[in-house]
Structure 1
Amino acid sequence: MDVATVTEAAGTALVGAMATDLWGKAVDGVTALWRRAYPDRAETVAAELEQTRRQVLAARQSNDERALQDLRTGWQLRLAQFLDLEDHKLAEELVAELHRLVEEELKSAASLSEHNCANKVEMKVVALGTSRVNQVAGNQYNYKD
């Protein structure tokens, strides 16, 4: 398995998952990987993931795609450095586990997050008096029985 491909997919999926309900699984999975290689750093990484999540949510709120890309790239690099271990057998195991985490848990969460972000609609209507208001986020059809 190519480490660069796995870390690129993992960084992208991780940041995407940060804005979904599956965030808890993502942070648990990544923290568990860190705990295997660097047990003394796992809690620090968990805190950094929480901080990144706050940044992701703020960037999504303000539609700041550049900030999101910077966060993706940052975690891609962080994961690549993490997997650069002297113990090659452990590194291979962690790459395989990271790949499994991305494919089975993070990828679906990230795609759901991207889908929800792309289809976000915000509408506000003020009706005064006896006005009739129809508000639709898509197509509106008049059907006759």
Structure 2
Amino acid sequence: MDAELVALATAGATAVVQQMATDSWARARDRVVAFFARRGEAQEDAVARELETSRGELMAALDSGDEQTASDVRAEWRTRLRRALLADPAAAAELRAVLAEILPGPDGPPVTEVRNTISGGVQHGPVIQAGSVGPVTLGTPDHPAGH
């Protein structure tokens, strides 16, 4: 198999599994279901059930810190995508379109990158790192922080 198609199958599986753990999973699932259904691999409802089963396994694995099961879920979908691409090399363009649609980007949810560096010795207060922070209260109303 062409190295580019292997890389695409790997990227596709990674994206699908990442999306399983997000709020936008339903949209991503529908696009992946349609991709496989067009390949004639299975009926849409069967693919949807398989994806939901994988999602359940992944979420349980993430909750328990079971990286092996999470890796197995990625491997399963990488194999399925690789087989679909082998059977229909023209599917690569469609898979790229699916990935462009489900991954964060200019038209998707914003991606925030935060980099903080703490230096200069011991820090004696809270350190918060986040893409955005709403109202923050440190301490309690009876005992404000730093008093």
TM-score after normalising by structure 1: 0.66
Which residue of 2 is the match for residue 83 of structure 1? 85
| RMSD of Structure 2 on Structure 1 (CA) | 3.0
How much has 1:138 moved relative to structure 2?
3.9
Aligned amino acid, residue 45 of structure 1: V
Give aligned pairs, total. 115
Which stretches in structure 2 are left out of the alignment for 5+ residues?
114-125, 130-137, 140-144
Distance 1:49 1:137, change over 3 A: farther
How much does 1:61 deviate? 0.5
* In 2: Cα distance, 1:18 partner to 1:103 partner: 16
Once the two structures are superposed, the pairs formed by residues 1-145 of structure 1 within 5 Å of their partners are 2-38=4-40, 40-85=42-87, 88=88, 91-92=89-90, 94-106=91-103, 138=128
Give unpaired runs (5+ residues) of structure 1: 116-135
Instruction: Identify the residue that residue 118 of structure 2 maps to in structure 1.
Output: none
Q: What TM-score do you get using the length of structure 2 for normalisation?
A: 0.66
Is the contact made by 2:37 and 2:47 (CA closer than 8 Å) also made in structure 1?
no
Residues 55-113 of structure 1: CA distance to partner in whole angstroms, max 9, x if unpaired? 1110110111111111101110011112222xx5xx31x2111112223313669xx7x
Q: Which has more helix, going by share of residues? A: 1
Runs of 4+ in structure 1 over 6 Å off: none
User: Percent identity between the aligned chains?
Assistant: 31
